[in-house]
Amino acid sequence: FEAETFLRFRDRCDAAGIDIPVLPGILPIQSWNGVRRFAERCGARIPDTLALAFEAAERDERSDLLALTQCTTLCTRLLDEGAGHLHFYTLNKPDLTREVIHALGLAPAAVLENVA
């Protein structure tokens, strides 16, 4: 949920002499309730600012826009910090991932039609 978490891990890997690529895993927020349950089950911490933003966005029926903005911002930061690749967990729901990749300008729309 935060670029800093991955960047600290990547830097620790570098310091430990690990010289294979370490890729950030991106889970686009398709469903706020689903992500909260997922985070609880696996012990992930959701930043308070993100939780408050999604709760407000759901009240205003703007969670789709927030999900796209949050994921695109996260990916941009990771790429700017030197992450050479991004691994997306689509959970068989590729639409938001397609939109993020398009917003990042990483692939033409014709290629994205085949993302599953």
How far, in Å, CA of 80 to CA of 85, rounded?
11
The DSSP-derived string for the chain is: --HHHHHHHHHHHHHTT--S--PPEE---S-HHHHHHHHHHHTPPPPHHHHHHHHHHHHTT-HHHHHHHHHHHHHHHHHHTT----EE--TT--HHHHHHHHHHT-S-HHHHTT--
Confidence (pTM): 0.85
**How do residues 8-60 score in pLDDT, each as one tens digit?**
999 999 999 999 999 999 999 999 999 999 899 999 889 999 999 998 998 87
**How do residues 78-107 score in pLDDT, each as one tens digit?**
999 999 899 999 989 999 999 999 999 887
Q: How many CB atoms lie within 10 A of CB 2?
A: 14
User: Whole domain around residue 47: which residue ranges?
Assistant: 3-15+22-112
Total number of domains constituting the chain: 1
